[in-house]
Structure 1
Amino acid sequence: MQDFEKAAGIVPEERQLKWQKTEFYAFCHFGMNTFTGKEWGDGKTPPEVFNPTDFDAEQWAMSVKSAGMKALILTCKHHDGFCLWPSEYTDYSVKNSPFKDGNGDIVKEVAEACRKYSLGFGVYLSPWDRHEKTYGSGAAYNTYYKNQLRELLTNYGDIFCVWLDGACGEGPNGKVQKYDWNGYYALVRELQPNAVICVSGPDVRWIGNEAGVCRSSEWSVVPAWLSKNDYIAEKSQKVDDEKFRKKHNEMTLDLGSRKAIKGETAFIWYPAEVDVSIRPGWFYHENEDAKVKSLKKLYDIYIKSVGGNAALLLNIPPDKRGKIAKTDELTLDSFGRLLKRRFPKNLASDAKATSSSEIDSEHLAKNIIEDDDSLYWQAASDDEEPEIVVDFGKPVNFDKLVLQENIATGQQIES
């Protein structure tokens, strides 16, 4: 069997299929950095500094929903180590902040708002912790991290995604931690088996930049070595660098073409996620209020990512009040309306589809115009030049053509 035939036989897990149907969802970077003006905190800021005065998780959810997004991922703990829930394992959390007199739980309120508005809820828990004293000690810190991960995966309902950052720097003792990735993965599988593990994980790969750019041909089936943690760590951001957020030089790497996989022996289903912020930074900064991405820019990113076999994770950073800033809120609502205008109706719904062949009585040509994405057409095995014709019965003007492969059976279409 040739390498491309092996690749064509790789199929996704059910959790990956469900994630890929999510397509477009939100990242909310919120935490101590929101109040210090930093992107990467050092873990030394007193918890008293964290004090959102008008926190409104439902406003977050409504804003995300208005843009057409289907889920939200919250930075429950960033590199500074400050926890947005009252963790039993550290004092560096909301329980020692002025927020609701130390009785608040940001994670709980956001999770509940997501459920109310039918959004998936995901968690970001940075392995790098610049506050925790056991960081860099080996087993002790890995136990600490897994304890916090367990809290998030057992106390806040269904989790659709666990987003693991590959950043690994020094802790307060000047040491670097060796992460127990396999232990982290095992815990996620045990407690939230339907959740995908993103970026530094086995289910979803990082696109290679934070500029919102994906390759002209983005493959879901790639060589297995791309999921190795050493490789991921090498490509991850090492320092707080604005230039890194604009780079996309990793896009030169061809991942899934016949030429790229020639000689490879092991393949995995490892679909891509494009992550980009609606602002220059990932956390809220007042001086960026006039730098929110335009509808034109957002639409271009959306079409090239969601339309290019990748999911789009758009960061929306709440402000110091604990709300989505007005500029961002209006932009999200306008973008949702724009998507509805650009894709108002399936013009082929009343058309007739015929084909050169059909493999059986279930995979018929007419399936391609049905709204049910579990239905699909498949040509007969001996049809070397399969063809399908869609007859509208009259002249029709259109400017968009949406073609989708039935990825439940793998990725076989090259061009």
Structure 2
Amino acid sequence: MKRKAGLLGVLLLSTCLAIAQQATSSIPVKTPKAVMDRFMDKRFGMFIHFGPVTQRGTEIGWSRNDQVPEEDYDNLYHEFNPKLFNADEWVKAAKDAGMKYLVITAKHHDGFLLWPSAFSDYNISKSPFKRDIVGELEKACKKQGITFCIYCTVLDWHDKDYPIDNPHHPEINARKGDMTAFKTRMKNELKEVITKYHPFMLWFDGYWEAPWTTADGQEIYNYIKSVDVNVITNNRLGKISEKLGGDAVGDFLTPEQTIGKLNMDEPWESCITICNQWAWKPNDGMKSLKQCIQTLVTSASGNGNLLFNVGPAMDGHMEARQVARLKEMGAWLKQNGEAIYGTKGGPYVPTAEYGATRLGNKIYINVFQRKDSTLNIPLLPNTKILKSYFLNGNAVAIRSDSKGYKIELPATLPDENCSVIVLEVDVNAMDIPVIKS
């Protein structure tokens, strides 16, 4: 035991020294691969946009100086008192949906903090509500086994040290600002949430305005790693790019309101709304169950995660219709989650008819619609299909010729939203190269 403990100590010391050396060199410390793998295995998370502007039913950031006058917008926190907020109920809605992580807009572009901070007076403790929304959600997530994550903005139209105060006309009455002071405050706030709430991931946005540079983003990324090397960040700390590496800052790509393409080389997560608006809007249109399930499945089939957004109402409750829709997704995942969690995308590129995921010696063909009595898919190179069947269901007949496989479909698919066919193969499915349909 002593020898093992000594060896462990040496390994820990070596790791710490390596991190320290990287931190003082020009090579930035990166999030460990094992941490990124845990994140990507989760596949499904809840995004929550919530703040004082919810009282107006307008978009959380872009309505400032537009639908909501600046003076009104910036003082909405004086009325902010979401008495029906219940962290356990929010987290339960995520858990019942089959979601594995949750991201709360702890600080959006309005600059208002949903936690009591030592570094800004523009925070939840100054509202009538006063309670620590971030802290209560962190505790509820821990209790219910959901991974807790935090959204923070890069820009801040309220902070006098940030050079822009109008999102629609940044060139008009732009403040001189002080970016050094702004970044110092930003670092203090980030250290505060990292050490106090221990988020698994920090989700950034607001990179697009001219005062914020890629160098600023890299500086903040390096600072986060100096506080906790295991904290993941998305690629919106610097100027957003469609590829990682090079000047890109962050650990994963973030297509917005669209599903990412199949990408076996770079981690990605699509952020998409369950309704139309990010923040709550009265009578906002909501996606059908089929749209919701197929959005999740297509994301997983492309080897990405889905961060699905819910906007709680101004009094703090989540709309019953949204909670019910999420629970329906959870019911589907209870039956078919084997084809989603922990899988990789491919080997087939997703189509309008199906998407594919894989794990071990299994390929999951997620069928979106029945166009004909057979589903035609390309041949798998150097691979033999040993068994084919509906997940938790009957065997499926499959024939092959030089053009591909023909999978026999019943007159009515087992699930009208998405039915899963399992192909057991004689190789590790991950070794099969990507095949275009």
| Range into which the TM-score falls when normalised by the shorter chain | 0.5 to 0.7
Match of 1:57 in 2: 87
- Letter paired with 2:49: H
Q: Decide which of 79, 83, 96 is 2:126's aligned counterpart.
A: 96
Q: Is the 8 A contact 1:164 1:201 kept in 2?
A: yes
Tell me, yes or no, if structure 1 residue 301 matches structure 2 residue 295. Answer: yes
**In structure 2, do the counterparts of structure 1 residues 331 and 226 end up closer, same or farther at CA, with 3 Å as the change threshold?**
farther
Q: Decide which of 306, 317, 329 is 1:312's aligned counterpart.
A: 306
Q: Decide which of 277, 280, 283 is 2:279's aligned counterpart.
A: 283
SS in 2 for 1:133: coil
Structure (1/2) with the larger helix percentage:
1
Q: Is the 8 A contact 2:111 2:159 kept in 1?
A: yes
- Measure, in 2, the Cα distance between the counterparts of 1:181 and 1:226: 10
- Measure, in 2, the Cα distance between the counterparts of 1:69 and 1:256: 22
State the shift of 1:392 in Å.
7.3
Q: Deviations over 1:256-279 (max 9, x none)?
A: 69xxxxxxxxxxx53111110111
Tell me, yes or no, if structure 1 residue 396 matches structure 2 residue 395. Answer: yes
**In structure 2, do the counterparts of structure 1 residues 343 and 51 end up closer, same or farther at CA, with 3 Å as the change threshold?**
closer
State the shift of 1:12 in Å.
7.9
- Measure, in 1, the Cα distance between the counterparts of 2:226 and 2:314: 36
Tell me, yes or no, if structure 1 residue 127 matches structure 2 residue 159. Answer: no
- Unaligned ranges ≥5, structure 1: 1-10, 171-175, 209-221, 237-244, 258-268, 347-365, 371-384, 405-409
Tell me, yes or no, if structure 1 residue 324 matches structure 2 residue 318. Answer: yes
- Letter paired with 1:58: D
State the shift of 1:18 in Å.
1.0
Match of 1:373 in 2: none
Q: Deviations over 1:228-247 (max 9, x none)?
A: 69xx9xx99xxxxxxxx76x
- Unaligned ranges ≥5, structure 2: 1-30, 65-69, 164-177, 341-358, 364-380, 397-408, 410-418, 425-429
- Letter paired with 2:153: S
Match of 1:224 in 2: 245
Match of 2:34 in 1: 14
The answer to which structure, 1 or 2, has the higher relative contact order (CA under 8 A, 6+ apart) is: 1
**In structure 2, do the counterparts of structure 1 residues 77 and 402 end up closer, same or farther at CA, with 3 Å as the change threshold?**
farther
SS in 1 for 2:218: helix
SS in 2 for 1:275: strand
State the shift of 1:319 in Å.
1.2
Match of 2:331 in 1: 337
Tell me, yes or no, if structure 1 residue 368 matches structure 2 residue 361. Answer: yes
Q: Deviations over 1:270-321 (max 9, x none)?
A: 3111110111000011231xx2211011012111111221100000111112
TM-score by length of 1: 0.67
Match of 1:212 in 2: none
Match of 2:4 in 1: none
- Letter paired with 1:184: I
- Letter paired with 1:30: F
Match of 1:165 in 2: 205
- Measure, in 2, the Cα distance between the counterparts of 1:200 and 1:62: 29
Match of 1:149 in 2: 190
- Measure, in 2, the Cα distance between the counterparts of 1:133 and 1:60: 33
Q: Deviations over 1:55-74 (max 9, x none)?
A: 10100000000010001000
RMSD value over aligned CA atoms? 3.8
Q: Aligned pair count?
A: 316
Percentage of pairs with the same residue: 29
Q: Deviations over 1:171-209 (max 9, x none)?
A: xxxxx444721221122222332222113159xx88x7x
State the shift of 1:169 in Å.
4.1
- Measure, in 1, the Cα distance between the counterparts of 2:388 and 2:126: 64
**In structure 2, do the counterparts of structure 1 residues 134 and 224 end up closer, same or farther at CA, with 3 Å as the change threshold?**
same
- Measure, in 2, the Cα distance between the counterparts of 1:387 and 1:337: 33
Q: Deviations over 1:41-85 (max 9, x none)?
A: 456224212110111010000000001000100000100001000
